[in-house]
Structure 1
Amino acid sequence: MAVHVSPSQERDTMLAPSSALMLEQGWQTRGARGSLQNLKKFNNQDFNQLRALCLSQGLLFEDATFPAHVSSIGPNLLPADKLWQIQWKRPTEFQRNPYLITDGVSRFDIKQGEIGDCWMLAALGSLTLQKQFLENVLPKDQGFQDGYAGIFHFRFWQYGDWVDVVIDDRLPFLNGRYLSVHPRTSNEFWPSLLEKAYAK
């Protein structure tokens, strides 16, 4: 069984580019627009509330706003026959001891998936070199150990605000291979989950 959450609000999912100066100002400002204290919740999904609900019911989160379905992949990424061959798996289903991060975060942690998303690798690699921003994007209050409920969240800078995006941890595979960015080590999942949140 799983907890399904319906979207309560439609939003534009395109993330706007912003200058490094705007990002740094937003990162430093406390309690004002553009600060982590005034996070916007994408689709009005609250990570802490949803995780607490899943844990109280002994269920793993399933995100109805971005389901494990071909509709979340998009019709033009792959030929139709391959789209319907995609399988969705949680890291806990194929790794005995998964982690969000092992031994820190590095640009060498990531590999390109089947869809040829090298642009995402470049962005993630650059982000790993900016530790102060990486901590904003990748919150430390989550993982596969204590409090695991199949739910994760990541933050993105969008139109002058930090936006918190909640996802479940079901990842797409095609013919046993990762469809998107994946970790170089078999049990580290921050790259795959971060790309899924960005895609949402």
Structure 2
Amino acid sequence: MVTCMVLGMGLPSIPAYLITASMAAPALIKLGIPALAAHLFVFYFAMFANITPPVALASFAAAGISGGDPMKTGLQSVRLSLAGFIVPYIFVYNTALLLLDTTALIALRVTITAIIGVTMIGMATEGFALTEMKWIERIIAFGGALLLITADPIQDAIGFSILIVVLLIQFRRKRSTA
């Protein structure tokens, strides 16, 4: 991850991918990761180099257009895209999301749980679901999201249960303040 981001810093998308793919992807493939998953992993993190400080070309360009502080814009972009930093790991640990060696039913389950897991990470990082979340709710939601990202049906069930509990707490709080 760090290698891909460092090698991708300050480069446009295509050269960033080409450099990281030629250096990092072969190492991942030798570790037993399927080639498609390895290249998508490398591609994602090479692209994230454009929004992560200290280089953050895309974030700094956006700050220039909006008149905002470049470093604050870069840090906010990382915060908003935190869920995206998890997606490449899903590709590596669960190739069913890439439709590799799987059935349609398993791919559908994995896709749905990954979407819900990434949404829960967004809830946890932003601190808002139906109402503002307390810190303990954010931590619990993040833990539930990590459970949903794995391919294990038992962990998925626990993650869904956590999501339901967090949303019920949020719904009660919203009703009591309305």
TM-score normalized with structure 1 length: 0.25
State the structure with bigger RCO (CA 8 A, min sep 6), 1 or 2: 1
TM-score normalized with structure 2 length: 0.27
Q: Which has the higher helix share?
A: 2
Radius of gyration: which is bigger? Answer: 2
